[in-house]
Structure 1
Amino acid sequence: MISKIELLNEIGIALSAEKNSQKVLELILDGAKKLTNADGGSLYTLNDKDELVFEIVSTDSLDIHMGGTTGQSIDFPPLPLHIEGHDNLSMVVTSAVLNDNTINIHDAYHADGFDFSGTRKFDENTGYRTKSLLTIPMKNHKADIIGVLQLINSTSIDTGVVVDFSSEDQKLAESLASQAAVALTNKKLIDEQKALFEAFIKLIATAIDEKSPYTGGHCKRLPELTMMIADACDKDDAGALKDFKMTEKDRYELMIAGWLHDCGKVTTPEYVIDKSTKLETIYDRINTVNARFEVLKRDAKISMLEKQMTARETADEQAFKDAERDYEALIEKLNDDKEFISVANVGGEYMAEDKQERVREIAKYKIDDCEEERCNFFNEDEIQNLTIAKGTLTNEERQVINNHIVVTIKMLDQLPFPKHLENVPEYAGGHHERMDGKGYPKGLTRDQMSWPARMMGIADIFEALTARDRPYKDGKKLSVCLDILGKMRLDNHIDPEIFDVFVREKVYMEYASEFLTPDQIDEVDHSKIPGFSGD
């Protein structure tokens, strides 16, 4: 009895420590079998439909082990507590729940009040003989029944003969069932809280993606890519990463950080996120600019007609022709300028200085404003926007965008993360830092950043390069993305070791096969990638 009590304590400690739900169920049944020297048993859980669901089935002498972590599914249907509105008291396990009591049967073949036809059929098919049964409802700390533990055929240690479950066996099994029910309830509560936590995080990420059609999916794709990079680095046994290994705790922490990396964008104004052209505010001001060009062309035509009328009055045929020629030349120039401004408004990877200067020259055209006063064709704000060298955002608007990471860090620092998630703010807050300390918001250097934070930085850049939903560009081909990433590695922007793993292990291809379109997946020559140290 002392040894059994010690075993009971060991099982209780194991139940408290185990995190895998299926393993917890196995510990309960296996522990109960050891305590009572039972040959077999089953464990059921009570679902929301008032049914007992088979979770674990085990019979040692028949080498039957199903459910749990065995990989063998249990095809038995759930057992209803009620049939056609009546209590199902014909089955031992359902009766134990409905009557809230332990049932100790000496011989199943001679027990009154229960239907053992299924048991007899099983025995006939397997040559087994089900005799003693101990069925215990599992109640949690609130006295709610959450399942049933059933043990079969207690066996004498001395003779090996099937015997009854003793009163001591019953008390020990009931004690274990009580501990097990509490452990299962706590595990379920933890799992539910974890599920709620993850759902809330993904809800925030989805809300951020839904704010703008131009970043839709970014918050979902980045965690995936980050974990691909982390897994590749974990498997790498050479170089600086040979000692980098990730536990399940580490992986979960990094995944959560990935989902939260842009949470600060909830405060970023939509007009900045959604600015798809340089002149866009509430609406795209290119339409107003086009109307101004039409006004210029109208004024040019009026000027031509006035000159031609004067030429006719003076019978100056040459002046008449010159007026028409000058008009046509001006219209051609205005149309060309209009097309140029329309293209410039779209934005792109780079706008040359001569094109910016052309915008400033066009701005010198004179036009009447609403008060019929002569003014420049573009105001200063329009000039500033149309001469944006990269993308569609002004420096001020880019600062608004960049501020999201400051807000992200501020938000995450205020959350009471448990110990196993304590690094989430550092991982999520570092994806815009650079290895040379020229990143933002803290200007951290490589040595000041963790490996996971550096991994997320590469993931953020590569996702942005390949994304097809940005306002001023299409998703780039793989070869182009790796060329740009390689140049960033040479520029000390990203971590060189992680970059080498990213290329060598073809993480880019793993990501591409899942998230890129076929036209983006072109042939990649590793020897032509800048900064790559080789396979």
Structure 2
Amino acid sequence: MQELNPLQIAQRLHQLTEVSVALGDTHGTPALLDRILRVAKGMTDADGGTLYRPSEDRRSLCFHISINDTLGIHQGGASGQPIDIAPVPLYDEEGNKNLASVAAYAANCNQSVNIDDVYRAEAFNFSGMRSFDAAFGYHSQSFLTVPMTDHEGELVGVLQLINAKDPATGAIRAFTQTDQRFIEALAAQAASALTKQLLIQQLETLLESLVNLINIGIDEKSPYTGRHCQFVPELTMLLAEAVHQTTEGPLASFSMTDADRKELWLAGLLHDCGKITTPVHIVDKATKLETIFDRIHLVDTRFEVLLRDCEIRALREKCQAGADHGAIDARCEEEQARIRADREFLRHANLGGEGMSEADQARVRRIGQIRWTGPGGVEQDFLSENEILNLTVRFGTLTEAERKVINNHIDVSVRMLESLPWPKHLKNVPEYAGGHHERMDGKGYPRGLTRDQMSVQARIMAIADIFEALTAADRPYKKGKLLSESLNILGKFALNGHIDPDLFDIFVRNKVYIEFARRNMDAHQIDSVDESAIPGYRP
């Protein structure tokens, strides 16, 4: 077979250069592999070709793409058509290298194999090829098999071309040495491009795994927060898609690419990553007196002491001459009834709630000043300053100092996220994740941003964060609210400058709330919603 003339070689060099640039611009592994095989076929005028990829255990070669122009075959790769062909083993049962198959030989020896006529070749086992020819009425003749290895010499694939054709006559010819050298050059460039994509995929997988690692840590520390870290990104994406589909109104211009979606999803997963540093007794504080345990039980013990002291005093009085036992018993019962009432009151106050009255707060302080005899016979106030501080918390279970510790999680989250060298397509993750506690009126935290200073994505996440928290039924410090209650609260937030009213309108109008509710809320929480009664919403 005559070698190429200088003009043809120059044309191939130019083609190889163009292919090198094109491979760098090809996104997605299936499209890249398809392009590699098609370019190789075109360069050598081959009738068919196969691209093999090593299996996960690297003990066999899997058919990844198979193309044959004469037979009209295109399977695997970007075609979407499955390849139902058994893999080629790279090793036998004893662990010895398979050198009988030409593809396995090229892979194991990292060496190209160029065969003029496979029916005359004796070095390799071509029984599978002969069966293929018989089944399809085809005649395989010339083979060129080239391994593809990365910068570390690791196998990334095997390129095999079949039946080179003479461009002028269409007759089957052998692959020339020039063909082989060009395909080896292409294979090296293709392996580099493929390795780059694989490294990018591995880095993205590693990043997602690190995100999951953080969430696993949060979940192990607090299963309630872990659930929140999974549901907020889900609700964020539901609302973001609804905004993306909006064609009118102030948010009609908002749109997302797949890369934008990935960026927002990651931000949702990481929005509370700073809580990994928040003390668990604050994150999961179910009652006002809870730290590592609920200190209300210590208070109960003091009440038992008061009850017994009362009984002992009564018994001592009865021992005195002329004592009025009936009056003594009446006073004792009255005092013990007051003690039991105070105990029940503190138990109830310890649970927290939507709002504690000034009268109830004053009663806690009065009870706190009762004197009792503690360990060692020391008389002291019934409640410590810290216990009074906790039991008089007006809303929820957290003191002001504890709330600051909780709020600090967002500062920690932002610092953690901003410390990472985010690639360009993920550079907004810190801003999206760090803005979910900001308010439209600038009264939020940590930076006091206003609506105009926030991205749409951050404003979306703020709504998702609040709605999930309102409806969550697994928090130890509160019950999950009904759907109608939660929407009523969100509507008031839209009116008072807490959340974005335009996003809230889409949240309700596109029924995002009901889709999330059906997926994740307890059935008894999903009550009937009168949208016309939701504050700040006009059907």
Instruction: Tell me if the contact between 1:52 and 1:80 (Cα under 8 Å) persists in the aligned partners.
Output: yes
Q: How many residues align?
A: 529
SS in 1 for 2:225: coil
Match of 1:64 among 65, 69, 73: 73
Aligned to 1:42, the other structure's residue is in SS state: strand
**Which of 182, 197, 213 is the aligned partner of 1:187?**
197
| Corresponding residue of 1:178 | 188
1:425 to 2:425 alignment: no
Q: Which runs of 5+ in 2 are unaligned?
A: 1-7
Deviation at 1:332, TM superposition (A): 2.5
Find 1:31's aligned residue among 33, 39, 48: 39
- Aligned to 1:75, the other structure's residue is in SS state coil
CA distance in 2, matches of 1:201, 1:97: 36
Who is 2:14 aligned against? 6
Match of 1:447 in 2: 452
Q: Determine the structure 1 residue equivalent to 2:142.
A: 132
- Residue aligned with 1:210, SS: helix
Q: Which amino acid aligns with 2:72?
A: D
Classify the secondary structure of the residue corresponding to 1:135: strand
What does the per-residue CA deviation read over 1:194-226, in whole Å, with 9 as the maximum and x for residues that have no partner? 222221122112212222244232222222222
Structure 1 residue ranges (4+ consecutive) displaced by more than 4 angstroms after TM superposition: 306-310
How big is each residue's C-alpha offset from its partner over 1:443-495, in whole Å with a ceiling of 9 and x where there is no partner?
11000101111111111112212223322112223222222212211221111
Q: Distance in 2 between matches of 1:458 and 1:427?
A: 12
The 8 Å contact of residues 214 and 470 in structure 1, kept in 2 or not, is answered as: yes
Aligned residue number for residue 53 of structure 2:
45
Q: How far off its partner does 1:333 sit?
A: 2.8
* Corresponding residue SS for 1:304: helix
Does the alignment pair 1:506 with 2:491?
A: no
Once residues 32 and 270 of structure 1 are traced to their aligned partners in structure 2, the CA distance between those partners, rounded to angstroms, is 60
Shift of 1:261: 1.6
Contact 1:209–1:218, Cα closer than 8 Å, also in 2:
no
Kept in 2, the 8 Å contact 1:433–1:441? The answer is: yes
Pairing of 1:50-199 with structure 2 (within 5 A): 50-85=59-94, 86-199=96-209
In 2, are the aligned partners of 1:213 and 1:274 still within 8 Å (CA)? no
Secondary structure at the aligned position of 1:53 is classed as: strand
Aligned residue for 2:3?
none
The letter for the 1-side match of 2:350 is N
1:79-117 CA distance string (max 9 Å, x none): 112223343222221122233322222333333222222
Match of 2:366 in 1: 361
Counterpart AA for 2:250: A
Bigger mean CA offset, 168-177 vs 103-112: 103-112
- Using the TM superposition, name which of 272-281 and 454-463 deviates more: 272-281
Decide whether the 8 Å contact of 1:206 with 1:219 is kept in 2: no
Query: What secondary structure is seen at the aligned counterpart in 2 of 1:104?
Result: strand
Q: Which residue of 1 aligns with 2:409?
A: 404
Query: What is the CA-CA distance between 1:371 and the residue it aligns to?
Result: 5.0
Shifted more, 295-304 versus 36-45: the winner is 295-304
- Provide the C-alpha distance between the structure 2 equivalents of 1:20 and 1:116, rounded to a whole number of angstroms: 33
Counterpart amino acid of residue 212 in structure 2: K
Q: Which moved more, 1:410-419 or 1:191-200?
A: 410-419
Q: Pick one of 253, 259, 266 that aligns with 2:269.
A: 259
Name the TM-score, length of structure 1 as normaliser: 0.93
Contact 1:23–1:69, Cα closer than 8 Å, also in 2: yes
Contact 2:284 2:477 in 1 (8 A): no
Tell me which amino acid in the other structure corresponds to 1:438.
Answer: K
- Name the residue aligned to 2:280: 270
Gaps in structure 1 of 5+ consecutive residues: none
Give me the whole-angstrom Cα distance separating, in 2, the residues matched to 1:84 and 1:217: 47
Conserved in 2, the CA contact under 8 Å of 1:215 and 1:469? no
Higher mean Cα deviation, 286-295 or 467-476? 467-476
CA contact (8 A) 1:209 1:215 kept: yes
Q: Deviations over 1:143-195 (max 9, x none)?
A: 44322101122233333333332333222222111101111122222222222
Q: Distance in 2 between matches of 1:245 and 1:213?
A: 34
Q: Cα gap change, 1:522/1:63 in structure 2, threshold over 3 Å: closer, same or farther?
A: farther
Closer, same or farther in 2 for the Cα pair 1:376/1:143, shift >3 Å?
closer
Verify the 8 A CA contact 2:473 2:522 in the aligned structure 1.
no
- Partners in 1 of 2:347 and 2:81 — Cα distance? 65
More moved, 289-298 vs 407-416: 407-416
User: Could you tell me which residue of structure 1 aligns to residue 345 of structure 2?
Assistant: 340
Per-residue deviation, residues 487-532 of structure 1 (Å, max 9, x unmatched): 2112211111221222222222332333333333333332232222
**Secondary structure, aligned partner of 1:444:** coil
1:235 aligns with 2:240: no
Q: Please state if 1:328 is matched with 2:340.
A: no
Which amino acid counterpart does residue 27 of structure 1 have in structure 2?
R
Paired with 2:269 and 2:443, the residues of 1 have a C-alpha distance of: 25
- Aligned AA (1:51): S
Tell me which residue corresponds to 2:388. 383
**Secondary structure in 1 aligned to 2:52?**
strand
Taking the aligned partners of 1:92 and 1:261, their CA distance within structure 2 comes to 53
Q: d(CA) in 1 for partners of 2:356 and 2:105?
A: 79
Q: 1:514 to 1:107 in 2, by over 3 A?
A: farther
CA RMSD after TM alignment: 2.1
Secondary structure at 1:94 match in 2: helix
Counterpart contact for 2:356–2:395, Cα < 8 Å: yes
Aligned to 2:28: 20
How far apart, CA to CA, are the structure 1 residues paired with 2:538 and 2:19?
53
* Structure-2-length-normalised TM-score: 0.92
Q: 1:97 to 1:461 in 2, by over 3 A?
A: same
Task: After superposing the two structures, state which structure 1 stretch, 231-240 or 329-338, moved more.
Answer: 329-338
Whole-angstrom distance in 1 between the partners of 2:433 and 2:111: 52
2: CA distance, partners of 1:529 / 1:161: 78
* 8 Å CA contact 1:155, 1:162 repeated in 2: yes
SS in 1 for 2:159: strand
Distance 2:264 2:412 in 1: 19
- Structure 1: distance between partners of 2:525 and 2:254: 32
The whole-number CA distance in structure 1 between the counterparts of 2:343 and 2:226 is: 32
